């Protein structure tokens, strides 16, 4: 297990440099778990936070045909403490709800992401986007490949639309937008003139 955690840490170091902090905690269904924090650098102006340990939970697809292992990461403009609890909650989600996570999944958090005043009430899981190299999305060298998903904040109308129509349109519109920062407010990708039209076309 320690070998695997070292490989995971090394994967993130390859992309973002040495962590500015590593915060460990026990996590239900997982055991030993940590958040790796990466400060801005000359090539990156935002903060990164990555899980290490979520992948020890082997998630099974609905039909039991495949095992899925994942880690998560998030980005913020400023250094914020609440991202740790958000990532820990998401990491335990497959255990808590006996499910598995995949690219394009949405989760209705049911409250502000920071439990205070964040405009975002849900999350979308995505592969690495415009600010990160695509190779960030796959950790090899372990007993199973581990997929790395970025956590993107969703506004209330986006959560509602994804719940009733599927996440495809929201995922597509956020895909190339660069809306990665969980502490920066943005406009909805479902703008006012489109809310009354068929978005799936």
**pLDDT value at 192 more than 60:** no
- 10 in any annotated domain: yes
**pLDDT value at 162 more than 50:** yes
Please give the backbone phi and psi of residue 95, each rounded to the nearest 5 degrees, phi first.
-70, -45
Give the number of other Cβ atoms within 10 Å of residue 101's Cβ.
19
- 181 in any annotated domain: no
From CA 49, how far away is CA 31, in angstroms rounded?
19
- 12 in any annotated domain: yes
- 187 in any annotated domain: no
State the total domains in the chain: 1
Task: Give the confidence band of 176 by pLDDT, cuts at 50, 70, 90.
Answer: low
For the residues 159-175, what does the mean pLDDT come to?
Answer: 87
pLDDT in tens, 68-104: 899 999 999 999 999 999 999 999 999 999 999 999 9
pLDDT of residue 106: 94
- 191 in any annotated domain: no
- 133 in any annotated domain: yes
Give the number of other Cβ atoms within 10 Å of residue 167's Cβ.
20
pLDDT in tens, 102-154: 999 999 999 999 999 999 999 999 988 777 888 998 898 888 889 999 999 99
From CA 91, how far away is CA 84, in angstroms rounded?
10
- Please name the residues in contact with 188: beta carbons below 8 A apart, sequence gap of 6 or more: 155, 157, 158
Residue-number span of the structural domain to which 90 is assigned: 2-103+126-146
pLDDT of residue 142: 83
E-assigned strand segments in 53-108: 59-60, 67-68, 70-76, 106-108
- 141 in any annotated domain: yes
- 47 in any annotated domain: yes
For the residues 50-64, what does the mean pLDDT come to?
Answer: 87
pLDDT of residue 43: 87
């Amino acid at each position: 297990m320690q070998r695997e955690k070292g490989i995971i840490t090394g994967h993130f170091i390859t992309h973002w440099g040495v962590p500015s902090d590593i915060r460990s905690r026990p996590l239900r269904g997982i055991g030993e778990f940590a958040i790796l924090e990466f400060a801005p650098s000359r090539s990156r102006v935002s903060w990164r936070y990555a899980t290490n340990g979520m992948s020890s939970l082997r998630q099974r697809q609905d039909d039991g045909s495949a095992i899925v292992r994942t880690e998560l990461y998030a980005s913020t403009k400023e250094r914020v403490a609440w991202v740790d609890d958000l990532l820990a909650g998401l990491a335990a989600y497959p255990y808590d709800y006996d499910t598995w996570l995949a690219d394009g999944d949405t989760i209705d958090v049911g409250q502000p992401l920071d439990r205070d005043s964040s405009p975002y009430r849900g999350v979308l899981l995505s592969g690495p986007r415009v600010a990160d190299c695509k190779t960030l999305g796959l950790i090899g060298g372990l007993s199973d490949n581990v997929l790395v998903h970025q956590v993107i904040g969703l506004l209330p109308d986006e959560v509602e639309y994804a719940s009733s129509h599927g996440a495809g349109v929201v995922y597509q519109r956020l895909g190339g937008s660069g809306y990665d920062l969980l502490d920066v407010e943005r406009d909805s990708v479902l703008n006012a003139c489109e809310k009354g039209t068929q978005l799936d076309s």
